[in-house]
Amino acid sequence: MKEYLKPFENTKNQLKHYVTIDFLKNHPHKIKRCAEIWLEVLGKIWVPEVTLDQVVENLHNHLNDNQLPITFVALDDEVPVGMCSLRKNDGILPNLMPWLGSLVVDPVYQKQGIGNKLVEVTKLKAQELGFDTLHLFAFDATIPEYYQRLGWNIISMDNFKRHPVTVMQCLLI
Ligand SMILES: CC(C)(COP(=O)(O)OP(=O)(O)OC[C@H]1O[C@@H](n2cnc3c(N)ncnc32)[C@H](O)[C@@H]1OP(=O)(O)O)[C@@H](O)C(=O)NCCC(=O)NCCS
């Protein structure tokens, strides 16, 4: 197992337990739950026209571990609680590559460091694939603060499906 995929300790309801991050490729039967989390915390707010079936179909293209696109899933004892993807493109600025996208954590599991860990493994994978910069865009106007705390910088503003988005980058070296 890759060092960065080792289970990490987590505290929920004052009980210590372990969250594992793995390639979604190794858990294809968990795609539907990942798609539901994505729709609940991101999709229904920003792109409500996207259906569960479309998200599921798209995630089937992400069942890779050494070529893009790749999705990581966070698992609490086999239950999917979050995910994050590494892609060539995320729908804007095709001259930039690669992109971190679809970072979502089940609301019940938020604020326990799982998002941070998903970003970390995605950065490490991008680095392992030879990239020296990673990009993302954020819909929510407050979320750039979160990424800035993780070492990302705002590089521009853009639009995705008529929504203004903040474009950020992170140097991997
Ligand atoms: C963003 C998200 C993935 C973070 O996951 P998480 O597991 O809760 O993240 P962590 O535990 O590593 O970090 C939690 C911190 O992020 C902050 N945060 C979460 N959402 C935020 C937002 N919209 N704006 C600013 N800060 C935010 C929390 O306040 C918390 O701060 P604290 O540590 O000072 O309490 C999760 O909140 C989520 O799924 N949000 C909805 C989807 C989304 O916006 N995804 C990002 C797309 S660019």
Give the tens place of pLDDT for each residue, 36-87.
999 999 999 999 999 999 999 999 999 999 999 999 999 998 999 999 999 9
Q: Which domain holds residue 121?
A: 3-130
Does residue 152 form part of some domain?
A: no
Find the 116 Cα to ligand 1 centroid distance in Å.
8
Query: What is d(CA 107, CA 96) in angstroms, rounded to the nearest whole number?
Result: 31
Pocket of ligand 1 (CB under 6 A): 41-42, 103-105, 110-116, 136, 138, 140, 142-143, 145-146
Where residue 1 falls among pLDDT bands split at 50, 70, 90? Answer: low
From the alpha carbon of 109, which atom of ligand 1 is closest? 7
Q: What percent of the chain clears pLDDT 90, i.e. is strictly above it? A: 87
The residue whose two tokens read 């995320």 is: 90
Q: How many domains does one find in the chain?
A: 1
Where residue 173 falls among pLDDT bands split at 50, 70, 90? Answer: confident
What is the pLDDT at residue 9?
A: 72
CATH number for the domain harbouring residue 72: 3.40.630.30
Give the tens place of pLDDT for each residue, 100-109.
999 999 999 9
Packing angle of the helix pair 52-60, 31-38 (nearest 10 deg): 130
Ligand 1 pocket mutation, candidates 19, 44, 111, criterion most atoms within 8 A of CB: 111
79, 88 Cβ separation under 8 angstroms:
no
Give the tens place of pLDDT for each residue, 81-101.
999 999 999 999 999 999 999
pLDDT value at 16 more than 80: no
Does residue 173 form part of some domain?
A: no
Does residue 81 form part of some domain?
A: yes
